[in-house]
Chain A
Amino acid sequence: MEKYRIDPAKGLEFGIYTLGDHLTNPETGKRIPASQRINEIIELAQLAEDAGLDIFSVGESHQDHFTTQAHSVILGAIAQATSKIKLISSSTIISTLDPVRVFEDFATIDLISKGRTEIVAGRASRVGNFDLLGYDLQDYEELYEEKFDLLLQINENEFLDWQGQYRAPLHNAHVLPRPYEGKLPIWRAVGGHPSSAVKAGYAGVPIFVAMLGGPATVFSRTIEAYRGALERTGYDPKDFPVATAGFFYLAETTQQAQRETYPFINEGMKKTNGRGFAKQVFAQGAHPHDIMNIGSPQEVIEKILYQHETFGHQRYIAQMDFGGVPFDKLRKNIELIGKEVLPAIRKYTAK
């Protein structure tokens, strides 16, 4: 766990993630300018740090309705604006980037932030980045596996020789700068399906699992498959952290939380994924065993603790800004997390 800068004795880490979506607020019909959205993301990270959260993360998506395509630049700005909080990507689409350049960027952010930076490398669920950045979608799997492996090799070796199919070979290449403490924690982004988690197990890398909705037990299959693959490959699962990520929103009651957040999630999903979020599934999200953490602070605390019991994970990352949620609501949520959620979670999960 030390390799990933995680101290399990401190309990479950708590973070925020944003995909950097740039959507119309369905209640006002208005969309804030991109400049405001990006600056609010930076401000949200500062508020999260002040409230005592552990992590802030920003993802890249190369489609309409998004604004953090250059997510590493935004993380650089956050590095400058904060001093304690960990900065991670959620995720970096390594398939259509050059791993050398990604490592240079993130090692630099790590130096600016004095050792607070991590990479979560993903494959993209929407694929606008392939055409835009000049890659063939036919190579979706192979690009990811090869480039992710190269990124891991660069992290482990200051000098390296490398040859592959999708990038020019490297001959005794010296990739600089090196991170603050020599290496970066690098995670594999995993969707719902266990097969990607199993590959992370074979490679011996930690996983960051995104979860939309459904009972926690369904997702624990993915995590169990991962730990099984780690063991079969000769790793000790105790050395590898697991992060989970999903929808989060707090209000006084669960009903109010659902009312306040449903239109944003539903309309946001329609625009970014082409299909809304079924009310039936959303309603089930209120169940104590569902992974959707939308409700009153007390109910959400109990859910997160149940998830911690089920998954034995080290990190929970909340997505609460999706769909054009206005900033005052985000600020209020951060306050509630700091005042009510964090103390309870740390009390029960710290050793």
Chain B
Amino acid sequence: MKVVAIAGSIVGSKTKTAIQYAVDLLSNKYPELDVTLLDLAELDVQFSDGRNYLDYQGDTKKVTESIMEADALIIGTPIFQASIPGTLKNIFDLLPAAGLENKVASMIVTAGSQRHYLIPEQQLKPILGYMKAQVVQRYVFVEDVDFFQKEIKNDDVKFRIERLIEDTVTLTRTYQKVQAEKEAEYDF
């Protein structure tokens, strides 16, 4: 199973901190998994111009190919102006329509205020749905107050991230099993 985690912002540390925590936990709990972290702050990604995802170069190609090869995505995002940051939206725009078909996607969301709690529901889930991902419905919402010096201070957040990771792996394994059974039914 290939898992790609995305830190969807190029500014700030909260999303990176939360997604790094998730990646470390994932690697410890499931050492057999192939886990990649794409931190957009460390990558030089161009804007989508509609070409086939294989036709990009450099970091952009690395990002598109990693995601397309993944079985599961853990998407980390802050909330900017009542939505996801443009940097993260661009990642979706680089991929084919229905590009997340047969992939499981889960979300870790960081925000400065509780008022943003339903933003992932209204802004990110519709994109994942449009791109045909299997979405882990429960997401982890982390507030500013839960971080201190680039670490998560709130045990409840840590527990919730742990459950999200378990759910992501369980749903991916289940989906792969069901999919394999269905594929085996075809005689070609």
Listed in ascending order, the chain A residues whose CB lies under 8 Å from chain B are 125-128, 137-138, 140, 255, 258-259, 261-262, 273-275, 278-280, 282-283
**A262 cross-chain contacts in B, Cβ below 8 A:** 188
CA distance A279 to B180 in the complex (A): 11
Asked whether any CB of chain A lies closer than 8 Å to the CB of B155, the reply is no
Asked whether any CB of chain A lies closer than 8 Å to the CB of B49, the reply is yes
Partner of B54, one of A255, A274, A279: A274
Known contacts A274-B68, A275-B96; is A255 also within 8 Å of B49 by CB?
no
Q: Would you give the shortest CB distance from A203 to chain B, in whole angstroms?
A: 23
Asked whether any CB of chain A lies closer than 8 Å to the CB of B183, the reply is yes
**B53 cross-chain contacts in A, Cβ below 8 A:** 274
Main secondary structure of the interface of A (DSSP, over half): helix
Partner of A255, one of B68, B99, B188: B188
Using a Cβ cutoff of 8 Å, how many contacts connect chains A and B?
41
Asked whether any CB of chain A lies closer than 8 Å to the CB of B123, the reply is no
Known contacts A262-B188, A274-B96; is A137 also within 8 Å of B52 by CB?
no
Known contacts A255-B187, A279-B186; is A126 also within 8 Å of B55 by CB?
yes
Q: Would you give the shortest CB distance from B70 to chain A, in whole angstroms?
A: 13
Asked whether any CB of chain A lies closer than 8 Å to the CB of B115, the reply is no
CA distance A27 to B51 in the complex (A): 30
Q: Which of B87-144 contact A (CB under 8 A)?
A: 96, 99, 101
**B188 cross-chain contacts in A, Cβ below 8 A:** 255, 258-259, 261-262, 279, 282-283
Q: Would you give the shortest CB distance from A214 to chain B, in whole angstroms?
A: 14
- Is A279's CB under 8 angstroms from B183's CB? yes
Extra contacts, 5 of them, besides A125-B52, A127-B55 (Cβ < 8 A), are: A255-B188, A259-B188, A261-B188, A279-B188, A282-B188
- Is B186's CB under 8 angstroms from A283's CB? yes
**B51 cross-chain contacts in A, Cβ below 8 A:** 126-127, 137
Most buried by A among B183, B186, B188: B188
Q: Would you give the shortest CB distance from A178 to chain B, in whole angstroms?
A: 37
Q: Would you give the shortest CB distance from B10 to chain A, in whole angstroms?
A: 24
Listed in ascending order, the chain B residues whose CB lies under 8 Å from chain A are 49-55, 68, 96, 99, 101, 182-183, 186-188
Please, which residue of chain A has its CB at the minimum distance from the CB of B69?
A274
- Contact sample, A vs B, 21 pairs, CB 8 Å cutoff: A126-B51, A126-B52, A126-B54, A126-B55, A127-B51, A137-B49, A137-B51, A140-B50, A255-B187, A258-B187, A259-B187, A261-B188, A273-B52, A274-B54, A275-B68, A275-B99, A278-B101, A280-B182, A282-B188, A283-B186, A283-B188
**B68 cross-chain contacts in A, Cβ below 8 A:** 274-275
**A274 cross-chain contacts in B, Cβ below 8 A:** 52-54, 68, 96
Please, which residue of chain B has its CB at the minimum distance from the CB of A258?
B188
CA distance A275 to B131 in the complex (A): 14
Please, which residue of chain A has its CB at the minimum distance from the CB of B95?
A274
**B186 cross-chain contacts in A, Cβ below 8 A:** 279, 282-283
CA distance A137 to B50 in the complex (A): 10
Q: Would you give the shortest CB distance from A138 to chain B, in whole angstroms?
A: 7
Q: Would you give the shortest CB distance from A334 to chain B, in whole angstroms?
A: 22
**A279 cross-chain contacts in B, Cβ below 8 A:** 182-183, 186, 188
Q: Would you give the shortest CB distance from B180 to chain A, in whole angstroms?
A: 11
Q: Would you give the shortest CB distance from A285 to chain B, in whole angstroms?
A: 10
Please, which residue of chain B has its CB at the minimum distance from the CB of A140?
B50
Please, which residue of chain A has its CB at the minimum distance from the CB of B64?
A274
Q: Would you give the shortest CB distance from B134 to chain A, in whole angstroms?
A: 15
**A283 cross-chain contacts in B, Cβ below 8 A:** 186, 188
Please, which residue of chain A has its CB at the minimum distance from the CB of B184?
A279
CA distance A126 to B99 in the complex (A): 16
Most buried by A among B49, B51, B96, B182: B51
- Is A138's CB under 8 angstroms from B187's CB? no
**A280 cross-chain contacts in B, Cβ below 8 A:** 182
CA distance A138 to B50 in the complex (A): 10
Known contacts A274-B68, A274-B96, A275-B96; is A127 also within 8 Å of B187 by CB?
no
